[in-house]
Amino acid sequence: MNAVPASHTIAEQPALSSALAKFLERKPRLLVNGEWVEAHGKGRIPVIDPATERRIAEIADADAQDVDRAVRAARAAFESGPWAGMLPDEREQLMWRLADLMERHAGELAELESLDNGKPIAMARLIDVPGAISHLRYMSGWASKLDGSTFNTSLRAAPGTKFHTYTVREPVGVVAQIIPWNFPLLMATLKLAPVLATGCTSVLKPAEQTSLSALRLGELIVEAGFPPGVVNILTGLGESTGAALVAHPDVDKIAFTGSTEVGKLINIAATATLKRVSLELGGKSPVIVLPDVDPRAVAAGAAQAVFFNSGQICVAGSRLFVQRRIFDQVVAGVSEVSRSIVMGPGLDEHTQMGPLVSQEQRDRVLSYLQSGRKQGATIVAGGDAPGHKGYYVNPTVIVDVKPDMKIVREEIFGPVLVAQRFDELEEVAAWANDTPYGLAASIWSNDLRAVQRLVPKIKAGTVWVNCHSMIDAGMPFGGYKQSGFGREQGRAGVEMYTELKAVCMAI
């Protein structure tokens, strides 16, 4: 089969709404101690619309002095003042107020997200904004529901002495939160939600490629009435702002979502003062298709699993394993879907797949395609860029791959699928696990026995069956192996923002 280029022409980015145009005129500022302040750092970072490659705004590159100021504000808010004395239901109400404000501005937030990241506005409206609001509301309930235990101990002391022992959960303290560019608003909100529920404070650093929606969220946080210093937002580069934040001795915990490479650096930096660390890192998630399924229906699911958000999602189903009997049909189906996807600028209502976030990311993905070709793989769909302004890459399906190829081993973070055949269940579990990552996997089958035998064999934090990328505030999310540690969301997620104190009282 030859590579077939996408046949669609790419539309031009529609005009911005006046609300958005006005927001873009905003000066580069940082949110510190409840106020929008000028950065001490003199560096400025251009904000680029990935669909047009045009500069649309600029943000500050916060330096170590800015970081110190923000951490001090977060410390002060944590230790004393209105936040430290607030009751759980008062924090819960503030979170609801913020969620309501986000809902009121949902259209504007979706537009901003789409412009800054490149994602289709329909997706931002359907997933990013409501998802962010849902995380906030879900976590707000935990403010009043965290609890401890009492214990029947066998402690011995002077005759007649009894003991009352129990545990309490206390907020961990000042949290540095560093997030990536693929779901900017959703990431910011889901990181902040457990901070607010538990009574911690945060210094949040959005990704330098996509900081605008976090800044807008900061405005809504101020409007909602959170006390100063509870949430501080610093824009800046990873190597300046990010590195200063993880090195700061007065940060108690770091919550990071991003590349495995940077996650490892952060874990090392955190060791100096033994900060608590939770890491949500990369993935190379397998999609396993057993022979009992309808190949056409599953092809649509497999295409969605890898192409959603232009493949820029840590759980992307980027390795497809199909049982030999239906391999050709499923691969043909995925390729057909890939050619039918309407690629275009985020703000166009018809767009189904937007550009990648940046030129760097586009070049990275194209170089993987080059490497796949060089190592002898066959591209059956896509495989190139459409040759239009904007950081577009055609959705790509690759076969004839070998386990040691770079495109099979490394996370590409773009719309690229590698497909492999298998014969036996035993074999596919081993192949699926043959990766340093362990974030997620999906199994497609209605054969209950086969599915239940496969699930325990898969080394991944989430296993989906007959679906993929289903993420919910109530479900714990995180990785095995080099996909990170700690869990976000659910009870496990909120508990990551607490210390467990045991109290033993002789009575």
Could you say which of 35, 239, 292, 349 contacts ligand ADP (CB under 6 A)?
239
Task: Quote the CA–CA distance of 318 and 285 in Å, as a whole number.
Answer: 6
> Dihedral angle at the C-alpha atoms of 464, 468, 473, 475, nearest 10 degrees?
10
Binding mask 116-145 for ligand ADP (x = CB under 6 A): ------------------------------
Find all residues with CB under 8 Å of 271, minimum gap 6, and list them: none
> Which of 173, 194, 162, 191 minimizes the C-alpha distance to 256?
191
State in Å, rounded, how far the first CA of the chain is from the last one.
80
The single-letter DSSP state of residue 70 is H
Amino acid at site 198:
T
Selected range binding ligand ADP among 22-30, 63-71, 242-250, 464-472, rule: CB under 6 A: 242-250
**Binding footprint of ligand ADP, residue count (CB under 6 A):** 17
Options 92, 208, 314, 495, the catalytic residue: 314
Q: Name the H helices within 341-447.
A: 359-374, 406-409, 425-432
Catalytic-residue membership of 280: yes
Report the site for ligand ADP in 264-283 (rule: CB under 6 A): 265-266
Could you say which of 48, 136, 172, 243 contacts ligand ADP (CB under 6 A)?
243
Whichever of 67 and 380 has its CB closer to ligand ADP, that residue is: 67
Selected range binding ligand ADP among 51-59, 215-223, 260-268, 392-400, rule: CB under 6 A: 260-268
Q: Is 238 in the site for ligand ADP (CB under 6 A)?
A: yes
Residues in the chain: 507
The single-letter DSSP state of residue 227 is P
Token pair listed for 470: 């289903």
| Distance (Å) of CA 323 to CA 80, 346, 423, 434 | 60, 36, 6, 17
Q: Is 246 in the site for ligand ADP (CB under 6 A)?
A: yes
Could you say which of 171, 242, 301, 344 contacts ligand ADP (CB under 6 A)?
242
Q: For tokens 């793989």, name the residue.
A: 377
Whichever of 274 and 507 has its CB closer to ligand ADP, that residue is: 274
Minimum distance between the CB of residue 427 and ligand ADP, rounded to whole angstroms?
32
Selected range binding ligand ADP among 40-48, 224-232, 235-243, 338-346, rule: CB under 6 A: 235-243
Could you say which of 51, 95, 136, 178 contacts ligand ADP (CB under 6 A)?
178
Q: Is 315 in the site for ligand ADP (CB under 6 A)?
A: no
Minimum distance between the CB of residue 132 and ligand ADP, rounded to whole angstroms?
17
Minimum distance between the CB of residue 410 and ligand ADP, rounded to whole angstroms?
13
Task: Quote the CA–CA distance of 360 and 366 in Å, as a whole number.
Answer: 10
Task: Quote the CA–CA distance of 137 and 132 in Å, as a whole number.
Answer: 9
Task: Quote the CA–CA distance of 417 and 459 in Å, as a whole number.
Answer: 20
Catalytic-residue membership of 314: yes
Helix (H) or strand (E) holding 417: strand 416-422
Are 330 and 295 within 8 A, CB to CB?
Answer: yes
Could you say which of 48, 188, 207, 369 contacts ligand ADP (CB under 6 A)?
207
For ligand ADP, the nearest residue by Cβ is 238
Whichever of 186 and 326 has its CB closer to ligand ADP, that residue is: 186
Are 320 and 420 within 8 A, CB to CB?
Answer: yes
Minimum distance between the CB of residue 181 and ligand ADP, rounded to whole angstroms?
6
Interaction site with ligand ADP (CB under 6 A): 178-180, 205, 207-208, 237-239, 242-243, 246, 258-259, 262, 265-266
Catalytic residue set: 280, 314
